[in-house]
Structure 1
Amino acid sequence: MDLFEPLDIRFIRPNTPLQHMNILAIGNEKEFLEYCKDRDITPIIFPEELEFNDNKNKGYHFVYEKRLHGWVDIQDITEPAIILLGSGNHHYISHSILRKIIDKQHDGYTLILIDNHPDCEDINIKDPKGDYPINCATHVRETLRKGKLVEVIHIYRKELANADWYDTKLNKRTYKEATGEEQATIFNEQMIDTILANIFDEVYLSIDIDALSHDDVDIEQYQVYDQGQMRLDELLLILRKIKKLKQIIGIDICGMSEDKRAESVYDAIIEVLR
């Protein structure tokens, strides 16, 4: 399906202001905990014992889906929030937030994923007890397969390689890319308006700051993957347009790194979206 093909979906509802959204923090890395402390945010410490590494799959941090859902249930997160997730390794927590919180409140919505990677790998690891492992590279695929999420709009600046795991045919639901055709192309307001005109009015934002250029923040030194070419001013323009035109039902942000500029990036995103 072409990105700009009209979709048979419902359109504009009154915007819900974000001023009353809570800021929640979930993570356990040193840099992230220091960021929270400096801003008087009390984080929910993510238990390391829930994770395991699989050296056969690029050393990913995995977590079993049912155990993650159970842990999120215990946290009793019920209100819409800006949820800070620490490093990109914990982006999979977004999956449980969507399944256990957002799905209970909304029947259909669009996930706007701003990330240098699609997070849609298909990694065939099964647990003998019937649980299913997910990680930062698979969580979007699993949410599309199992949740009430209807479509994903993936916004990034770097053209993905034709990797064998990159599959946009995800069940009955829709996955579309929105990217500059080449490095020199930037996201202008007209392009953003066109993208937003053809999606649900209710949107959930999931942001990994690895989409940003090295000129704005250095993520690659700390993460498994490489990072993108989007500039911070482009990202903030996109977020302002989304806030103006759509009803944001939740937000998560990840990608915190050892680069202190990551803290300023988090602050800038929060300032725009609150």
Structure 2
Amino acid sequence: MNFTNVYKWERFSHDRNYIWLDCTHLEGTECYCDRESAEALKQLMADYPAEAIHFIDSGNYHYLTKFWTDKLQKPFSLVVFDHHPDMQPPLFEGVISCGGWVKDVMDTNPYLRKVILVGVSEKLKEAIPETYRDRVIFYGEHELSHEEAWKRFSAQHVEGPVYLSIDKDVLDARSAATNWDQGLLSLPELEQLLSVVLHHEQVIGIDICGECSTTLDIFKENQEVALDSRANQELLDFFRRNRPQE
């Protein structure tokens, strides 16, 4: 999903098998998305399934996970790898934001059973409204790397198949360049966590965001684009290697 044209500069995207959805002409979509723009986006997405891998540009558009998961017609759990919980109350009625989309999914999607957040800053956990804490589960990235721990956790908390949403801001600055403050995971550590989920859950859809924003420093910008392109290519190759066998 092309909003900022950043993917045109990332080498991983030069695969002819990708489907490009041009969103560059839409207004009212960056960070916040109003009703009119939301309808336009849903029309663009109408012919495409949630059961795929979606690249959704920078973290400013992470709310697109809501639109993809709105397409699911069966109970599911949402597993989000993100440095932020994205559960802020909306500033304006009828507007969805990159900082509050998880709350919106929980408020509106009748099929959502649980939200599992991985990699969220300890400080930001405290901002989760009390009324949501029975359906939002935090899982420590160090625990998740142990398969037995995930099995126990999954038996208690994961209901139905899983939709995976990954914001690369969960990664450290050596692994990705994003437009938000970042976490501490390396890319191999993230892949280890993802492999545990993939080997024990039915994953029905995936999206990836966290592209860098443009800067006035061309040299730095080129470095960031190359870093994100490598991360996206590695994640894509990882998911291809670990996809369920027919």
Q: State the TM bucket, normalised to the shorter chain.
A: 0.7 to 0.9
Counting only pairs closer than 5 Å after superposition, residues 48-197 of structure 1 correspond to structure 2 as 48-51=25-28, 61-65=31-35, 67-75=37-45, 76-78=47-49, 80-99=51-70, 101-102=71-72, 105-106=73-74, 108-126=75-93, 132-147=94-109, 148-156=111-119, 158-161=121-124, 165-170=127-132, 174-179=135-140, 187-189=144-146, 190-197=148-155
1:39 and 2:15 correspond: yes
The alpha carbon displacement at 1:124 in A equals: 3.0
- Give the structure with the higher percent helix: 2
The alpha carbon displacement at 1:30 in A equals: 2.7
Aligned to 1:212: 171
Instruction: Name structure 1 gaps, 5 residues minimum.
Output: 1-25, 54-60, 127-131
The alpha carbon displacement at 1:70 in A equals: 4.7
SS in 1 for 2:77: strand
Aligned to 2:184: 229
The alpha carbon displacement at 1:228 in A equals: 0.6
Q: 1:90 to 1:48 in 2, by over 3 A?
A: farther
TM-score normalised by length of structure 1? 0.73
User: How many equivalent pairs are there?
Assistant: 223
1:241 to 171, 189, 196: 196
**Aligned 8 A contact 2:82 2:118 in 1:** yes
Aligned to 1:16: none
Instruction: Name structure 2 gaps, 5 residues minimum.
Output: 213-220, 241-246
Identity %: 21
Q: 1:52 to 1:98 in 2, by over 3 A?
A: closer
Aligned to 2:216: none
> What's the C-alpha RMSD, in Å, of the aligned pairs?
2.4
